[in-house]
Amino acid sequence: MQSQRYIADIIVTCDANGSIYSPGVIDIEEGKIAWVGRLGDEEETDLQVNEIGGLLMPGLVNAHCHTPMTLVRGAGDGLPLGRWLTEAMWPREGKMNEDDAYWGMTLGSAEMFRAGVTSSCEMYLFEEAIVEAAKTSGARLIMTPGVFKSSYSESRLQNFTDFYNRHHNPDGKITVGIGPHSAYDLGIPACVELAEFARSLDLLFHIHLAETREESSRLESEHGKSIVEILSENGILDGKVLAAHCVWVNDNDISLLADANVSVAHCPVSNMKLGSGIAPIEKMLEKGLIVGLGTDGPASNDTLDLWEEVKIAGLLARVNSLDATLVTPFEALGMATRESAKAVGLERVGSLQTSWEADMIRIDTNYSTFTPSTNLNETLAHLVWSGANREVTDVWIGGSKVLSEGDLVTIDEERALREVRERAFRLAGV
């Protein structure tokens, strides 16, 4: 890892103040940002100086994903969530092994790097294989091992504790949480136990919540209240909680989530593809909830391109409220960077600030989608509304390049493609 100074045409920091430097300078030392600011304000340096032009910004943070599902991408297209899971996903996933998950995660990481995604919060089984894939690729990973009714046991909790002790490292690139799939699958008593377990280790509790109108109907009928109310009254929302989707929530539910400081992973593309609905994020933001963006899995999206979520999150909020002033480009970028990082428990990630992690991406602005740009507000608008995925040229994680001038540095993409193709046929039974 080399210490470097980079000079760019524009640096979009995505900090809370909306700081933008044009042209800008950023110094990277030992994987951290040593200084960032306007060209001309920097001090003399012995660092290697790189005049790279273009636009530098923080890497995107995927707040909710099941990346190894690259292996089942395209299966069950056109089915609603319940049937999609039971008829298409779970039969194939039931045949998966550790090696399958490793290659599924590897190919997905390549896809995310090319789209400028530097961190992902994963909920899945085969957590050891996923961690190994992340270590090999250099990705920043928040691993929340999936817990289902079918696999929930004392031994699963012990295995998880051992996994946490081996891999949880807030000072490194791997952190650990726990991922109970849902209350409708596990039931309330198991969710209570898992929430207490997460709090005992001060871990992220990552759960699907109110994704569809039908999923929690049994529990809601039994208790005579909404699923959010049920979880709240049972203490399941206490602690560090990341709730994925939150489509079918009312005003009272949103207040309960806000009171408990629950963070939301908003996955608009997956919600649309599965016909689940539109999450009322404009109301969540009004209540001060942290709302990050996730792709969900590559089988329900069907890409890992977080730029799509950036655009569509803003558009859906506007059309849902009939208000074109909602979700500004600054806010949309923030949801994919600093807010997503907060939502998944990452500190000093998601913004280009002194002493923060040097997770950043370069975007080539010499494209029609960035033309014209007569001021910086227009440049931000182009980033959000025109889509920047195809213009990502370079990606750094912890100061080390994983994508250089469009070429993957740490991943053998051809092999990953071959491995996933071959394994997908076995899982499909053909």
The CATH number linked to 210 is 3.20.20.140
The verdict on 253 and 378 lying in the same domain is no
The predicted pLDDT at position 19 comes to: 97
List pLDDT tens digits, range 303-314. Answer: 999 999 999 999
Low-confidence residues of the chain, pLDDT below 50?
none
Cα distances (angstroms) measured from residue 69 to each of 84, 92, 210: 13, 10, 22
Look at the block and give the residue holding tokens 């394994």: 423
- Contacts for 231-237: CB closer than 8 Å, 24+ residues apart: 231/183, 231/188, 231/191, 232/256, 232/260, 234/188, 234/191, 234/192, 235/192, 235/195, 235/196, 236/183, 236/188, 236/191, 236/192, 236/195, 236/205, 236/207, 237/195, 237/262
The verdict on 181 and 278 lying in the same domain is yes
Q: 266 — phi, psi (to 5°)? A: -90, 125
Q: What is the CATH number of the domain that holds 378?
A: 2.30.40.10
List the beta strands (DSSP E) in 185-340. Answer: 204-209, 240-245, 263-266, 291-293
Q: Is residue 271 part of a domain?
A: yes
The verdict on 53 and 125 lying in the same domain is no
Q: What distance in Å separates the CA atoms of residue 206 and residue 283, rounded to the nearest whole number?
A: 21
303 Rama sector, left if φ>0, alpha if ψ -120 to 50, beta otherwise = beta
CB-based contacts of 358: which residues, under 8 Å, 6+ apart? 28, 31, 32, 33, 396, 397, 398, 399
- Share above pLDDT 90 across residues of the chain, in percent, rounded to a whole number: 91
Cα torsion angle, 189, 121, 246, 236, sign: positive
Q: Which residues pair with 69 in a beta bridge?
A: none
How many C-beta neighbours within 10 Å does residue 73 have? 20
The predicted pLDDT at position 1 comes to: 63
The verdict on 326 and 377 lying in the same domain is no
Domain that holds residue 172: 60-343
CA-wise closest residue to 123 among 58, 200, 209: 209
CB-based contacts of 330: which residues, under 8 Å, 6+ apart? 18, 380
Is 295:267 a contact under the CB 8 Å cutoff?
yes
The verdict on 234 and 218 lying in the same domain is yes
Q: What distance in Å separates the CA atoms of residue 105 and residue 95, rounded to the nearest whole number?
A: 16
Encode 295-339 in three state secondary structure.
CCCCCCCCCCCHHHHHHHHHHHHHHHHCCCCCCCHHHHHHHHCHH
The verdict on 293 and 328 lying in the same domain is yes
Q: Is residue 348 part of a domain?
A: no
Helices (H), ranges, 50-153: 81-83, 90-93, 98-114, 127-137
CA-wise closest residue to 406 among 395, 421, 420, 417: 395
Q: Which residues pair with 37 in a beta bridge?
A: 25
| DSSP 3-state of 35 | strand
Q: What distance in Å separates the CA atoms of residue 68 and residue 70, rounded to the nearest whole number?
A: 5
The verdict on 29 and 167 lying in the same domain is no
Quickly count helices (H) and strands (E) in the chain: 17, 20
The verdict on 398 and 315 lying in the same domain is no
The verdict on 242 and 171 lying in the same domain is yes
For the chain, the C-alpha Rg in angstroms (whole number) is 21
Report the alpha-carbon angle 102-104-105, nearest 5. 65
Q: How does DSSP classify residue 264? A: E
The predicted pLDDT at position 430 comes to: 82
The verdict on 173 and 89 lying in the same domain is yes
The verdict on 149 and 268 lying in the same domain is yes
Number of structural domains (the chain) is 2
The predicted pLDDT at position 109 comes to: 98
The verdict on 32 and 124 lying in the same domain is no
CA-wise closest residue to 423 among 42, 81, 7, 101: 101
The predicted pLDDT at position 388 comes to: 66
In degrees to the nearest 10, what's the CA dihedral of 287, 288, 290, 295? Answer: 40
The predicted pLDDT at position 191 comes to: 97
Q: Is residue 371 part of a domain?
A: yes
